[in-house]
């Protein structure tokens, strides 16, 4: 069993959470990740916009593997400077203004530095609006940013350097509890990045010999749908996304163990890659469950929609109240890191994936299609016996 350092996961996650990184404003967190890769002695490349492609060399170049997590988060931008000295906002990523109400935040101006503030409903005072504070609609048009500056007009805001398009980072308000729970905004997907780095650390320190080149990718535009579309190489044949799973009514995800996603709103994940992940969980005795997400997309979707001929899978850690007031448990991050380690260290099973195209079916995959092994019905007068629990096949 690999030595997964839970103290390292928590420490690096704390560092990531303390580094503001709404999509479009991620240079600082890219630098944090690159500094840690330097410390671990892992080579990497950086794209123009700051996505990272780190690599651990394997015995062969192809068919290369990749694992990807994203370090950009939800946030907002200033849409309009208002006459009352406050600011209208638009969200970065898909999240409800219900979870923005009351949030402390930082506004980054281009020339005058960062300012602190609070996002409030338009009708924030019960002493003034009475019951209207409970009946106003939930919408981004119903909230405003109150900066902690002396500003009573639009011109006051402009004089201080505020402008349309300024980025707004939402405070994570992270708490690491002694019982293993972590409560914070932006655990999607900084917790996934921390788990991936813990697996890298275990692979490097354990001097594990990998079968093929294995890339560890960090995207910076997942929350707006681009994600992995610009960071893959042509020799990557399979890619596993590390992201959050939703623990909610009607879902099978949990805050413990690994949740293997079988499909999301963009369709099923690759059958062969997903079955391998499930098999590795069984072999390594990693607690796990399966789930399907109806209103969810990830870096895997971005890669496929960009035209990449790559097998994709999705490994998740359960988050309660995703894209809101999020909570996870360290047990899940530990389990995810173990699965990442097991996958990176596993042998290549589909050797044909080394070539993107072939003029032969030799080595092409197959699917189980045989009928289940069931008892035949050979009588008309006697009732059939009750099938054993779980069936025979």
Catalytic residues: 222
* DSSP states of 130-192: TTHHHHS--SGGGEEEEESS---SHHHHHHHT--TT-EEEEP---EE-TTSEEE-TTHHHHHH
The two beta strands, 58-70 and 210-219, are: parallel
d(CA 365, CA 128): 68
Tokens standing for 126?
């019960």
For residues 199 and 341, what is the distance between their CA atoms, to the nearest angstrom? Answer: 5
Cβ atoms of residues 64 and 236 within 8 Å: yes
Q: What are the residue ranges of helices labelled H in 206-287?
A: 271-283
What's phi and psi for 181, nearest 5 deg? Answer: -75, 145
Strand partners, 115: 107
**Other beta carbons less than 10 A from residue 5's beta carbon:** 17
182 with 176: CB under 8 angstroms? yes
DSSP element (H, E) containing 329: strand 327-329
In this structure, the strands spanning 288-292 and 311-320 are unpaired
Let me know: does 218 contact 52? Beta carbons within 8 Å.
yes
Cα-Cα-Cα-Cα dihedral sign, residues 64, 67, 72, 74: positive
**Contact, 311 vs 237, CB < 8 A?**
yes
Burial status of residue 360 (CB atoms within 10 A of its CB: 0-12, 13-18, 19 or more):
exposed
DSSP 8-class letter at 73: B
């Amino acid at each position: 069993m690999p030595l997964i350092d839970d103290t390292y996961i928590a420490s690096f996650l704390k560092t990531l959470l303390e580094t503001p990184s709404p999509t479009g404003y991620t240079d600082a967190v890219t630098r944090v990740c690159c500094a840690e890769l330097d410390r671990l002695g892992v080579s990497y490349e950086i794209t123009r916009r700051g996505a990272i492609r780190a690599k651990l060399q394997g015995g062969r170049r192809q068919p290369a593997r990749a694992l990807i997590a994203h370090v950009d988060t939800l946030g907002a931008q200033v849409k309009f400077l208002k006459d009352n000295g406050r600011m209208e906002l638009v969200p970065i990523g898909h999240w409800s203004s219900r979870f923005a109400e009351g949030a402390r935040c930082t506004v980054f101006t281009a020339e005058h530095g960062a300012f602190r503030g609070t996002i409030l409903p338009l009708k924030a005072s019960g002493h003034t609006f009475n019951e209207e504070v409970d009946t106003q609609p939930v919408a981004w048009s119903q909230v405003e940013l109150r900066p902690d500056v002396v500003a009573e007009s639009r011109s006051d805001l402009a004089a201080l350097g505020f402008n349309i398009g300024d980025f707004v980072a939402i405070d994570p308000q992270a708490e690491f509890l002694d019982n293993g729970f972590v409560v914070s905004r932006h655990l999607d997907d900084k917790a996934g990045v921390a788990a991936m780095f813990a697996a890298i650390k275990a692979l490097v320190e354990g001097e594990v010999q990998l079968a093929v080149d294995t890339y560890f990718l960090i995207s910076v535009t997942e929350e707006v749908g681009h994600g992995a579309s610009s960071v893959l190489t042509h020799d990557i044949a399979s890619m596993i996304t590390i992201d959050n799973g939703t623990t909610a009514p009607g879902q099978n995800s949990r805050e413990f163990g690994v949740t293997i996603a079988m499909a999301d709103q963009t369709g099923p994940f690759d059958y062969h890659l997903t079955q391998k992940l499930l098999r590795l969980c069984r072999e390594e005795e990693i607690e796990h469950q399966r789930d399907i997400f109806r209103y969810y997309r990830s870096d895997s979707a971005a890669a496929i929609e960009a035209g990449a001929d790559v097998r994709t899978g999705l490994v998740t850690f359960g988050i309660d109240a995703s894209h809101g007031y999020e909570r996870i448990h360290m047990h899940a991050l530990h389990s995810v890191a173990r699965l990442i380690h097991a996958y990176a260290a596993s042998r290549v099973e589909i050797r044909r994936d080394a070539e993107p195209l072939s003029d032969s079916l030799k080595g092409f995959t197959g699917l189980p299609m045989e009928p289940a092994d069931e008892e035949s019905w050979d009588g008309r007068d006697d009732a059939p016996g009750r099938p054993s629990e779980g069936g025979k096949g």
